[in-house]
Structure 1
């Protein structure tokens, strides 16, 4: 594999030592060689080989470069910028602060190591899914079970499907096909667009024209706010055999009242409590779909509360539900290196036999 080459453009407001520390930590964690350099001019931002991760900075010429066809660059803005349309084969992450550099390096390395076929299900740039198949897919008999991944991020556009890429790689290694779903987020497009996209994106799996897939063994698995979207899709009749909540926001009424994540529910959905009821998995019980609810005990206590109460209510409603709570924080449930994820993956495999 080529080296990861991080380039920091003129005018990027961040401590250089801290950026270097973040980059070196990720290089070591991913087992790659890499280096970071600081460009003095916009001309020095152009990729010159390796796996490029570029922080362009505020210069107008640097911003214009992002839309040019310069290859498979990961462009990173520490601040939020929803206006960027990256050039062909390039990707753009933004609004995650200094820690965004870690996500950008992971994203760049993932796409070098793992191939996927992008399938669009609508005309907007955010209406797509990446289909991953294990190398043995063509030889499998009876078709592969499929995991549809729905990312979280409290319904905000700074978070995207790259959050679920480590799980996609892990699940493919376990013999699953993976459908990593992107969708329009409500902060830019409204709540109805988000709900419609998740339904359409899950439904588009049937048209992916992959004979290797067993569409009778499909699980939809969402993380955090993505779990609300995943279980909502199941409640609305998505054709799935299993719905999985990974640290899910499962009670929207209480999440709104408790001002979870600085008012994320109201920001996404407004203040219409009837809409909360239509969207909240807890209010939609029974789902009449087999469910797996996974929760890290070291997570936000409100999410622990939601998961425990939801699991109890779902069982009382007659739903077939398994509740799994183990040590771990909010991101442990989507980290392939953790015991809670490894236990979750086994539970999903058993449910889809």
Structure 2
């Protein structure tokens, strides 16, 4: 495998030793060769651009001009949030994740080099309307992955790439879906994109839609809205938006995504709220998986016991309600945190993957 090269811009505000530590840990965890180079200036950085390079440009205007250059599969990582960046053809821009974004950038570069055969297929004109399709040698059932990130644009489909590799190795086709997030484009754009992205699969036979965190809400809403799926899977899902808003989950992520808070006194019960004629209540009823029961499709709800306690509560209560509504639901709770459910080596993901493969067999 080719080497992952980390290029640090000359004015990046971060401890150089800490960047080396982050890179070293990721190289070891991924089993890749890698190195870190501190560019003297933009001209030096330009000489280093190539497939597999992870570049932290900083704020220098000359460095940032390089981002739009066609230089291959370069991964640009801004540790601060910088919306609207247009990387050159074949490149990726990750931003807003702090220094932890460097680790995600290294993972993305490694996965791209290991799986050059994936196909990026647009389902709309916007740069965030696409899916990456991974296909085994033979025709196979499809697992559609919908990433989370509490509906915020700093998180993207790269979160699910490790699962793409794991599922592909199990003989399953994978559709890793990107979509416009509501913080920049509004809630209707997000839900429309997920529906369109799943519809782009056409008549793919058996399809499992698998969402992580906020992506589970989107996956289950799509299933409730009539997406043709065999199995809907929640990985640490936000399945109760009313309580998610009232408990101020992730610093108000629900209200920020939907654009409004649920009214005081409204009840989480299929439109039987005294405020059911209120537009906000109707929005929550349409979006919250708990309020869309029964979904009418087979479901798997996966939850790490060391995750946010509110998510554990949502998963357990959702499962009870879904069963009472007549849905076929399997609940899988095992040791693990919020990211263990999307980490291939963990027991909770191994059990999840086996369950998904079994349901699609």
Fold equivalence (TM over 0.5): yes
- Which digits, 9 at most, give the CA deviation of each residue in 1:117-174, with x for residues without a partner? 111100000000000012x22xxxxx41110000000000000000000000000000
The aligned residue for residue 182 of structure 2 is 186
Partners in 2 of 1:273 and 1:41 — Cα distance?
54
Say yes or no: does 1:27 pair with 2:16: no
Secondary structure of 2:144's aligned partner: strand
- Which digits, 9 at most, give the CA deviation of each residue in 1:271-319, with x for residues without a partner? 2232111100000000000000000000000000000000000000000
Question: Which piece of structure 1 moves more, 68-77 or 152-161?
Answer: 68-77
Secondary structure of 2:201's aligned partner: helix
Whether the aligned pair in 2 keeps the contact of 1:150 and 1:222 (CA below 8 Å) is yes
Q: Relative to structure 1, is the Cα distance of residues 268 and 88 closer, same or farther in structure 2, using a 3 angstrom cutoff?
A: same
The aligned residue for residue 120 of structure 2 is 118
Q: CA deviation at 1:49?
A: 4.8
Mapping of residues 269-308 of structure 1, within 5 Å: 269-271=258-260, 272-308=280-316
The aligned residue for residue 131 of structure 1 is 133
Secondary structure of 1:205's aligned partner: coil
Partners in 1 of 2:181 and 2:281 — Cα distance?
20
Mapping of residues 128-277 of structure 1, within 5 Å: 128-134=130-136, 136-137=137-138, 143-206=139-202, 215-271=204-260, 272-277=280-285
Partners in 2 of 1:50 and 1:312 — Cα distance?
48
Secondary structure of 1:92's aligned partner: strand
Q: CA deviation at 1:37?
A: 1.4
Secondary structure of 1:312's aligned partner: helix
Structure 1 gap ranges (5+) = 138-142, 208-214
Mapping of residues 320-339 of structure 1, within 5 Å: 320-339=328-347
Question: Which piece of structure 1 moves more, 114-123 or 171-180?
Answer: 114-123
Secondary structure of 1:70's aligned partner: coil
Count of residues paired in the alignment = 340
Secondary structure of 1:89's aligned partner: coil
RMSD of equivalent CA atoms: 1.0
Q: Relative to structure 1, is the Cα distance of residues 313 and 327 closer, same or farther in structure 2, using a 3 angstrom cutoff?
A: same
Whether the aligned pair in 1 keeps the contact of 2:51 and 2:73 (CA below 8 Å) is no
Q: CA deviation at 1:50?
A: 6.2
Q: CA deviation at 1:44?
A: 1.4
Partners in 2 of 1:73 and 1:50 — Cα distance?
6
The aligned residue for residue 140 of structure 1 is none
Secondary structure of 1:328's aligned partner: coil
Equivalent in 322, 344, 349 of residue 341 of structure 1: 349
Partners in 1 of 2:133 and 2:50 — Cα distance?
27
Partners in 2 of 1:95 and 1:171 — Cα distance?
28
Q: CA deviation at 1:216?
A: 2.8
Partners in 2 of 1:170 and 1:156 — Cα distance?
25
Partners in 1 of 2:184 and 2:108 — Cα distance?
23
Partners in 2 of 1:337 and 1:149 — Cα distance?
18
Structure 2 gap ranges (5+) = 261-279
Partners in 2 of 1:48 and 1:289 — Cα distance?
47
Partners in 1 of 2:188 and 2:51 — Cα distance?
41
TM-score (norm 2): 0.93
The aligned residue for residue 18 of structure 2 is 18
Whether the aligned pair in 2 keeps the contact of 1:5 and 1:50 (CA below 8 Å) is no
Moved over 3 A (4+): none
The aligned residue for residue 323 of structure 2 is 315
TM-score (norm 1): 0.95
Secondary structure of 1:144's aligned partner: coil
Q: Relative to structure 1, is the Cα distance of residues 268 and 49 closer, same or farther in structure 2, using a 3 angstrom cutoff?
A: closer
The aligned residue for residue 106 of structure 1 is 107
The aligned residue for residue 264 of structure 2 is none
